Amino acid sequence: SSRVQLVSNSDVNMALELPAKDIVGLEGRDDIVVDSRASNKILFFAMNNSVAPFDNPLVRQAIVHAIPYDKLINDVMLGQASPMTSAIPSSMPGFDDSSYDVSYDLEKAQALLDEAGMGDGFEFNFVLGSGFNDWNDDAVLIQAELAKIGVTMNIENMARPQFLEAIATGEVQSYISRWTSFTNDPQYHFGLLFTEEGTSNYMNFRDAEFNELWQEAATEPDQSVRNVAYSRMQEIVNEAAPWGYLYEYNIVVVHSSGIEGYTSYPDGIIRYAQMSVVGE
């Protein structure tokens, strides 16, 4: 709210990380530019693959079909995000969502729970880190949809420093988190998030074929051959469903109309040296 007020009153030239609901009120002003662009920043609903009941892929698949994706993008992000249809963002080389087949479908979610022997539902814990308004709204919407198939999602709010420490233990049952791959490449992205030794693989995803393909791609000089491997890796993740793909964020920067030279980069970091204030 302080950032919104400062940029709205021209007390600062630029503001970042403004909530989508506040951006709406700033659009259309002559003295303010709302620069909204697609990015490789993603948000996902992670389920711990080594903790029951999420050690059962059928249960994870049921959860991903119970997430109201359109509501998250339209009602929470107010259009400042786009659908996420792969484990890697759509702007990343090697992206392939041909094996993605997930939609909001409570009947299918219930059928998968029945197949998993959990048709009467279950209860699980979800850790919600502070700091991002959309996370809170997303969690409440997902919680409400899961209740319709008898699944109780207990939300535990946690300050961001404690949240980061908690998920790093690899013991949190479920959580929402966002990710930006500073190097816009599947090798970097997959290596950190999905390989067995990945330092950010907090949901304990394990797949021998995936690890083997990642190792092969690391030394393969032919991009087309690597892309074949990456396509198969995306297919493996889609089948295993360690995540619910929530959305891809737009990078939104709000600045005064007197700012020139701003552009966005895949890492989301602003190059201030390229920018100037008109008349200065």
Over residues 49-70, the pLDDT tens digits come to 999 999 999 999 999 999 999 9
Instruction: Supply the pTM of this predicted model.
Output: 0.92
Read off the pLDDT of each residue in 110-121 and give the average, rounded to a whole number.
Answer: 97
**Mean local confidence (pLDDT), 164-184:** 96
Residue 81: in which H helix or E strand, if any? Answer: strand 81-82
Residues contacting 216, CB < 8 A, separation 6+: 229
Residue 116: pLDDT above 80? yes
pLDDT tens for each residue of 128-151: 999 898 999 999 999 999 999 999
- Mean of pLDDT over the chain: 95
Q: What is the pLDDT of residue 162?
A: 98
| Whole-angstrom distance, CA of residue 110 vs CA of residue 141 | 18
Q: What is the pLDDT of residue 280?
A: 61
Q: Is the pLDDT of residue 265 over 90?
A: no
Q: State the pLDDT at residue 19.
A: 86
Instruction: Using DSSP, state whether 121 is helix, strand or coil.
Output: coil
CA atoms within 13 A on the CB side of 86: 22
Where are the alpha helices (H) located in the chain, listed in sequence order?
2-8, 20-26, 57-65, 69-71, 106-115, 133-147, 160-168, 186-193, 208-218, 223-240
DSSP assignment string, 176-222: EEEEE-SS-SHHHHHHHHTSTT-TT-TT----HHHHHHHHHHHT---
Q: Is 51 helix (H, G, I), strand (E, B) or coil?
A: coil
Q: Is the pLDDT of residue 123 over 70?
A: yes
Name which of 22-36, 185-199, 221-235 the model is least confident about: 22-36
